[in-house]
A = this chain, B = another copy of it.
Amino acid sequence: MHFAEIIKTLKERREVLNVTQENLAELSGVGLRTLKQLEGGKGNPTLLTLQKLAEVLGMEVCLKIRTITSDK
């Protein structure tokens, strides 16, 4: 996943779960300002921030080996 896609995925997931930015910020421990900036496409979150958000959204950050064939 490229950069923007990861951010977009987080945002979409939050929306699907019907959680407000404010709630997610509180639940995850990430500052509201930080979350807003992220979703606005400005920023370069740290792994810790990503994980805090993903955790609450029932997601997980992972690293996988890229395959030659598109595994779509």
* A residues adjacent to B (C-beta < 8 A): 1-3, 6, 9-10, 13, 44-48, 50-51, 54, 58-66
Copies in the complex: 2
Q: Are A10 and B46 in contact (CB under 8 A)?
A: no
Give which listed residue, B10, B44, B58, B63, contacts A10 with CB less than 8 A.
B63
Complex CA–CA separation, A59 to B67 (angstroms): 8
Known: A46-B44, A46-B46. A59 touches B51 (CB 8 A): no
Shortest A51–chain B CB gap in Å is 6
A38 to chain B, nearest CB (A): 10
B-side contacts of A64, CB under 8 Å = 59-60, 62
What is the CA–CA distance of A51 and B1 in the complex, to the nearest angstrom? 9
